[in-house]
Chain A
Amino acid sequence: MTFFLIVTLNGLTLAALYFLAASGFSLIFGLMRTVNMSHGAMLMLGGYVGYSVVDATGSWAIGVLCGGLAASAAGAIVQAGVLGWMQGDELRQTLASIAISIIMADLMLWYWGGITYQVELPDALAGGQRLPWLGVGYATIRLALIGFALVTGLALWIFIQKTRMGAIIRAGVDDQQMLRALGYPINKIFVLVFALGGMLAGMAGVIAASALSIAPGTDLQFLLSSLVVVIVGGMGSVGGAALGALLVGLAEQYGLAYAPTYGVVFTFAIMVVVLAVRPQGLLGKAEQ
């Protein structure tokens, strides 16, 4: 029983990490219908920059912030410089973002090399906690992940649903022409969305590099998990990303614990079942 509960807790913390990683991807996709395949690379950029900053300054918070800002700048540049010119041609945008992801991954490999890095945690998050009922030790950072995910999810939801900026972005998705006619600079708004998505990816990258580690290939790992999370949960809804992350995280940990060599199959089976029943994802809106 204890084993089962620990595996469940592992699943929950992993789900939190997946949600953090997928939220930026889901945001950009949901608002702009752009599949940003360079999302994994942005996450990795955030992780690497975060590592270097923490290494230099010793402050974890500044590291997370700088990682987020670096990926945010990368996102803005990608949208303003390349993808913005292809707005409306989704396939071309997807292919272009793949090219960008290849370039970014190679540049990062060039600069940071093929070494595995782990970001040093602040004292408050390092070490472990003794869990009250189970009586076993558990890493504090992994418990903190759940908190980070809740805060991020809530903030994102408030931003999109409750603020004026969020309303403008939502309007831009529904009717670009009208918003432009009303005098809103739609291209700048889309660059902003990309910057925000990059920010989320970059911060998730630093957190992932602290809780786990970061090395070449991390980009692909999180791109895949984000894809599956978003496919399962439903494209472009915060709640969908949360539900998708929960299912995938739990499935992966149960799979790892009870059927080690077939872990991937569980994740995959969930995706297939969801697609068979609800192609738009569990909480996604059907395509018009």
Chain B
Amino acid sequence: MRYALILIPFLVLPLLLDDFWLTQVLTRALILGITALSLSFLATYLGVVSFAQAALAGAAGYTIAYFGPNSVEIGIELPFWASIPLALIIATAFGGLIGLIARRSRGIYAIMITLAIGVAFFYFTRQNYAFFNGWTGFSGIRAPLIGELSLRAPVPLYIMCLLTAGLAMALVDGFARSPMGLTIQAVRDAPGRVMALGIPVTTPIVAAFAFSGFLAGTGGILNVWFQERISSFTVGFGPIIDILIIAVIGGLRHPSGAFIGAIVYVLLDTFAVDFIDRERFNLLIGSVLLLIIIVAPNGLQQLVLDGGTRLRGTALKPDKNP
């Protein structure tokens, strides 16, 4: 319910903003935020920083492209009520598989393994033409039509992304409170004790990765409708790092940091051209990332919270998920 209340002010924004702000800034930030949310979820509740989220989002996006209308004559066209669930199932299963592979690895080991998986997926999409159409990928992908209304039109796309984001946050919240979610947090805090209680550790880890795959897949589907194309670059090192940057800038202490990070990232990406050479964006974003890691390791979200605490002069109630 809390998320429904937060959403209301955002629902009136289409009346105030032009299409550029709505589509290129807000919608883009929401889509990136949903994808980064899948990483924040893993980092917050399982304590694993995964670099495979772009691959998970890409798997869903490629499924939509392969089983939907596209202009490269590859794949089978299915109706959307079939291809969307299929894309989500594939992303979820892929997430679970990654969890299975990385189940015994934590911290930096998990980073290395998921990075290797993410980059291997990128090289695979580039080499494989049967399913991924190699380097060029898919273009001419269309979002579904509802009657005469295309979901790619600025306002419907924005509303859809906004509702999806709200739903995703509510799902994360509910999942974290569920018995499985609690077990996942127990595995994060003390895997040894969880095992001593007779609870297998593999299931919660795989479940967390699978759920994260579901979230990333949702972001991936929205992204492929937004971009109307997908190629190996969509799952390349750039996007892998972008998702990480967004989650880290926002803060890995709470899943909602993903959306804060996403809006900051998109604003920088959109308006940095006014200050620096377009070509040097990586220099800017790398420096911002380094600065955040040095100054505020818990992200902008923590800075805002700390600032609020200092203003009020009272201690904030202890974080449920430190």
Say which one of A9-17, A61-69, A137-145, A267-275 lies at the interface with B. A267-275
Q: Number of contact residues on A: which range applies?
A: 35 or more
| Distance, CA A105 to CA B279, complexed state (A) | 12
Write out the residue numbers on chain A whose beta carbons fall within 8 Å of the beta carbon of B112. 35, 227, 230-231
Scan residues 250-288 of chain A and give those whose CB is less than 8 A from a CB of chain B. 260-265, 267-268, 271-272, 275-276, 279
CB of B120 within 8 A of CB of A262, answer no
Given contacts A105-B282, A228-B116, contact A96 B294 (CB under 8 A): yes
B200 within 8 A of A: no
Write out the residue numbers on chain B whose beta carbons fall within 8 Å of the beta carbon of A263. 127
CB of B293 within 8 A of CB of A95, answer yes
Q: Which residue of A lies closest to B130 (CB)?
A: A261
B108 within 8 A of A: yes
Say which one of B144-152, B155-163, B284-292 lies at the interface with A. B284-292
Given contacts A82-B294, A227-B112, A231-B113, contact A262 B127 (CB under 8 A): yes
B279-310 to A contact mask, C-beta < 8 Å, 1/0: 11011011101100110010000000000000
Write out the residue numbers on chain A whose beta carbons fall within 8 Å of the beta carbon of B293. 92, 95-96, 99
Nearest CB of A to B98, in Å:
10
B104 within 8 A of A: yes
Scan residues 223-257 of chain A and give those whose CB is less than 8 A from a CB of chain B. 224, 227-228, 230-231, 235
For the complex, count residues of B whose C-beta is within 8 A of A: 38
CB of A98 within 8 A of CB of B128, answer no
Write out the residue numbers on chain A whose beta carbons fall within 8 Å of the beta carbon of B176. none
Write out the residue numbers on chain B whose beta carbons fall within 8 Å of the beta carbon of A101. 286
Partner of B107, one of A90, A227, A261: A90
B111 within 8 A of A: yes
B141 within 8 A of A: no
Scan residues 87-138 of chain A and give those whose CB is less than 8 A from a CB of chain B. 89-92, 94-96, 98-103, 105-107, 109-110
B248 within 8 A of A: yes
CB of A265 within 8 A of CB of B286, answer no
CB of A224 within 8 A of CB of B108, answer no
B124 within 8 A of A: yes
B108-121 to A contact mask, C-beta < 8 Å, 1/0: 11011101110110
Scan residues 31-76 of chain B and give those whose CB is less than 8 A from a CB of chain A. 49
Nearest CB of B to A39, in Å:
11
A220 within 8 A of B: yes
CB of A264 within 8 A of CB of B108, answer no
Write out the residue numbers on chain A whose beta carbons fall within 8 Å of the beta carbon of B105. 275, 279
CB of B128 within 8 A of CB of A106, answer no
B244 within 8 A of A: yes
CB of B289 within 8 A of CB of A262, answer no
> Using a Cβ cutoff of 8 Å, how many contacts connect chains A and B?
108
Q: Which residue of A lies closest to B281 (CB)?
A: A106
CB of A96 within 8 A of CB of B127, answer no
| Distance, CA A65 to CA B283, complexed state (A) | 28
Nearest CB of B to A114, in Å:
10
| Distance, CA A101 to CA B287, complexed state (A) | 10
CB of B282 within 8 A of CB of A106, answer yes
Given contacts A106-B283, A220-B237, contact A90 B108 (CB under 8 A): yes
B13 within 8 A of A: no
CB of B297 within 8 A of CB of A92, answer yes
A165-198 to B contact mask, C-beta < 8 Å, 1/0: 0000000000000000000000000000000000
| Distance, CA A220 to CA B285, complexed state (A) | 18
| Distance, CA A107 to CA B283, complexed state (A) | 7
Nearest CB of A to B77, in Å:
24
Write out the residue numbers on chain B whose beta carbons fall within 8 Å of the beta carbon of A230. 112
B101 within 8 A of A: yes
| Distance, CA A98 to CA B237, complexed state (A) | 11
Write out the residue numbers on chain B whose beta carbons fall within 8 Å of the beta carbon of A82. 290, 294
Nearest CB of A to B301, in Å:
16
Nearest CB of A to B250, in Å:
13
Write out the residue numbers on chain A whose beta carbons fall within 8 Å of the beta carbon of B130. 261
B268 within 8 A of A: no
Q: Which residue of A lies closest to B236 (CB)?
A: A220
Write out the residue numbers on chain B whose beta carbons fall within 8 Å of the beta carbon of A105. 282
Nearest CB of A to B126, in Å:
9
CB of B117 within 8 A of CB of A91, answer no
| Distance, CA A283 to CA B117, complexed state (A) | 21
B129 within 8 A of A: yes
CB of A103 within 8 A of CB of B116, answer no
CB of B241 within 8 A of CB of A91, answer no
Q: Which residue of B lies closest to A269 (CB)?
A: B120
CB of A264 within 8 A of CB of B123, answer yes
CB of B104 within 8 A of CB of A102, answer no
| Distance, CA A263 to CA B120, complexed state (A) | 10
CB of A264 within 8 A of CB of B124, answer yes
CB of B244 within 8 A of CB of A98, answer yes
Write out the residue numbers on chain A whose beta carbons fall within 8 Å of the beta carbon of B280. 106, 110
CB of A224 within 8 A of CB of B282, answer no
Q: Which residue of A lies closest to B101 (CB)?
A: A272
Scan residues 180-229 of chain B and give those whose CB is less than 8 A from a CB of chain A. none
| Distance, CA A265 to CA B131, complexed state (A) | 15
Q: What are 6 A-B pairs at a CB distance below 8 A?
A: A98-B289, A99-B293, A102-B289, A110-B283, A220-B237, A271-B116
Query: 7 closest Cβ contacts across the A-B interface?
Result: A102-B286, A99-B290, A103-B286, A106-B282, A99-B289, A279-B104, A106-B283
New contact pairs (18) apart from A103-B282, A279-B104, CB-CB < 8 Å: A33-B108, A102-B282, A102-B283, A102-B285, A102-B289, A106-B282, A106-B283, A109-B279, A224-B115, A224-B116, A224-B119, A227-B112, A260-B127, A263-B127, A268-B117, A271-B113, A272-B101, A279-B105
